[in-house]
Amino acid sequence: MNVTELARQLRVHPQKLLQILPEFGFDVGARAVKIDDRVAQQIQRDWRRIKFVMEDRELKAKLKEKELERQQRQESGATVEIPNVLTVRELSDILNIPINKLILELMKNGILATQNEKIDRETAVLMAQELGFSAVLKTEVDTVQDSTHLENLEKILSSGNDTPRPPVVVVMGHVDHGKTKLLDAIRSTDVVSGEAGGITQHIGAYQVIWHNPKTKEKSPLTFIDTPGHEAFTVMRSRGAKVADIAILVVAADDGVKPQTVEAINIIKAAKLPVIVAINKIDKPAADAQRVRSEVSQHGLIPDDWGGEVPMIEISAKNNLNIDKLLDSILLLAEMNAATIKADATRAAAGTVIEAHVDKGQGPVATVLVQTGTLKINDPLVVNGEIYGKVRAMKNYRGDDLKTAAPSTPVKILGFKLAPRVGDILDVGSVGTATEINLKNKRAQNTGAEQRPVTSTGDTEADEARKTFNLVIKTDVLGSLEAITASLEKIKNDEVSVKVVGKGLGNITADDVSLASATGAQVIAFNVAKSPLANEMMQNTGVVFKQFKIIYDLFDYIKEELEKLLNPEIVTTELGIFKVMAIFRTDKTNMIVGGRVEMGKIEKDCKIRVKRDKEIIGKGTLSHLQSGQQDMKVIPEGNECGVQFEGKLKLLVDDVLEAYKEEKKEKKLILN
């Protein structure tokens, strides 16, 4: 056998083949042109083993080379500047590595992203560090501008603040320690809504009126509802301060966990007064003293140990000591009354705490008014640019508002473009503001805080397309952005994915209610479901799926989408039968005789009736008989009797074209 022919069969370069064969016991010579057939057959039998050894060697060499490059970068102190948000392509250019290599590294870390997709700074820093670079934050024009607007907001908040306002509280803590249950318990104390069921929509924040049974006073409290403190983390990263008090929830039976430490660090960075709510005190394994000890190791010293941090033992499930917690919030607010003030008479200023694009309403955002009063028709001045004007305002119950006082969270309609979480709204700066450049802003838009917009602009096409609705909750923001960005691309002419709700943290009752109302499935990635949510899902029949591996999640969604595809009908032509005699005619069937002129006919096959070379109708051959014997198939050239099922009346010399149809399940092909 020629060496070139053997190399072609083995899919390897001839020169490389001659180089590696001696190592595995085949000494055919470095310049051999032909190889003995028996030797060639032995090489073919051993090739799988040889190939495995060579690939393993190459992989180890690449890993060694990669590690060497990483060590060299570390030793040389190679440093790169990473902006807050950038595309995979931009990161590839910054790190000076091939784009396909970077995408592979991202996939190894569970992140599916194309070269034009945006990733957050934390992910980019992780990739840079794994490749041996030291990463520093890149100072950008946007960051400088954000700092300027933030400074302006701080000046506004510190001047003329002579009227007390409701305190703004953020609830933080580890997954499954009971943040959601605590928020539900607090909402149930609201003398206005009466119970959590009175809430009709989620806008990222809400207010309750705490009716103190001892003092008989009614005190409003504003809570930022940020599962997994996503929005709060984003706002802190941009320097905004929106909360006055923080509640740190720690489970009495679990103690301090990684996300608890993360929350403590965020609270310290924001310099917020904090209350520790030791939850699940009703559980047999509860150990409140252990929690006090572990929390104190991170700088939060309990007040009953001589420190300044109140620690309240509660059970959100059993509504135990929720009143004490709310009293502690009011007490802490009184102690910090000098900073919890605002000037309600000036033009409104505040911070965007949630923003997305709604298919029906367009760009909408939830703004926490921190000072001044926001009114209908006020200009929406965000970071020095006019984004539109207030067309409508709604509270968390969906009630229309005409004015919004300090510490009031409102959902605002009237934006030309959805702002970012953490953006500063300052109505009073309209005199120096400029009109927003929509084209430039859309090009700069990170999309990190926006929900996917599924409309293609073609209303008829959107209505015809079947949608698979999802409510998605993840443990970290990076995973949420990677999943939603990838799902936006899963769309073809027949089906598409629509994310009707998303967030961080455990599955809550609100998530189940949203899924039930929109016919969606609830998808959990590395998070659990609360007992209440589990009970609601059992009662409503909402489908719940939990994943720990991102590829399994995408495979499941792809399988579900394929179920929505209309099956492909495959038609197989069988043969031609010519009618030669009519034996019996009934209302819906006929018995006729004839001959198979071409191909074959089969029992229960479908037929097209041709008369004078034109198709005049369709039917089915439900019975075949040759002589006195029932048949399943009649081949070409044979005469037989058939039973025709159909409303059409056959005539002699009619031609019946036999065929069969099979349904073939479609596979999802993406546009």
pLDDT in tens, 598-645: 999 999 999 999 998 888 999 999 999 988 889 999 999 999 999 999
The answer to whether 547 touches 523, Cβ cutoff 8 Å, is yes
User: Higher confidence at residue 436 or residue 584?
Assistant: 584
Q: Which pLDDT belongs to residue 198?
A: 33
- Does 138 have pLDDT greater than 70? no
Q: Which pLDDT value is given to residue 143?
A: 46
Q: Which tens digit of pLDDT belongs to each residue from 359-413?
A: 677 788 888 898 889 999 999 988 888 889 999 998 877 889 999 999 998 999 9
Which of the 8 DSSP states describes residue 131? T
Is the pLDDT assigned to residue 10 strictly greater than 60?
Answer: yes
**Can you give the pLDDT at residue 141?**
41
pLDDT at 11 exceeding the cut of 80: yes
> Would you say residue 66 has pLDDT above 50?
yes
**Contact predicate 125/135, CB 8 Å:** yes
SS3 state of residue 360: coil
More confident of the two residues 302 and 421: 302
Question: What gap in Å lies between CA 7 and CA 258, rounded to an integer?
Answer: 55
List, for residues 220-277, the tens digit of each pLDDT value: 888 886 544 444 555 444 444 678 899 999 999 988 887 788 788 888 877 889 999 9
Residue 657, strand partner residues = 576, 608
The pLDDT value given to residue 227: 45
Question: What pLDDT, on a 0 to 100 scale, did the predictor assign at position 620?
Answer: 93
- Prediction pTM value: 0.48
Mean pLDDT within 140-150: 51
Q: What is the pLDDT of residues 467-526, one digit of tens each?
A: 889 999 887 665 676 677 677 766 677 788 888 888 877 888 888 888 887 889 999 988
Give the DSSP letter of residue 507. B
Which residue pairs from 49-55 have beta carbons closer than 8 angstroms and sit at least 24 positions apart in sequence? 50/20, 50/24, 53/24, 54/20
Residue 466: per-residue pLDDT: 79
Q: Read off the pLDDT band of 465 (50, 70, 90).
A: low
Q: 410 — alpha (psi -120 to 50), left (phi > 0) or beta? A: beta
Residue ranges in 411-450 assigned as alpha helix (H): 438-444
pLDDT-derived band at 137 (thresholds 50, 70, 90) equals low
Does the pLDDT of residue 174 top 80, yes or no? Answer: no
Lowest mean pLDDT among 271-275, 300-304, 391-395, 461-465: 461-465
Q: Is there a contact between 496 and 452 (Cβ–Cβ < 8 Å)?
A: no
Question: Which of 83-97, 438-452, 506-520, 608-622 is predicted most confidently?
Answer: 608-622
Q: Give the mean model confidence (pLDDT) for residues 158-172.
A: 80
Query: Is residue 538 over pLDDT 80?
Result: yes
Nearest-angstrom CA–CA distance, 433 and 620: 75
Asked if residue 276 lies in contact with residue 173, where contact means CB atoms within 8 angstroms, the answer is no
Let me know how many helices (H) and strands (E) the chain has, helices first.
18, 34
E-assigned strand segments in 291-361: 311-313, 341-342, 349-358
pLDDT of residue 462: 45
- Between 8-22, 155-169, 184-198, 362-376, the lowest mean confidence (pLDDT) is in 184-198
Give the Cα separation of 357 and 340 in Å (integer): 32
Can you give the pLDDT at residue 481?
67
Give me the pLDDT at residue 250, please: 92
In contact, 411 and 203? CB cutoff 8 Å: yes
Examine the pLDDT at 670 and tell me if it is beyond 60: no
Computed over its alpha carbons, how large is the radius of gyration of the chain?
Answer: 35
Q: What rounded mean pLDDT belongs to the chain? A: 80
- pLDDT, position 498: 85
Percentage above 90 pLDDT, the chain: 21
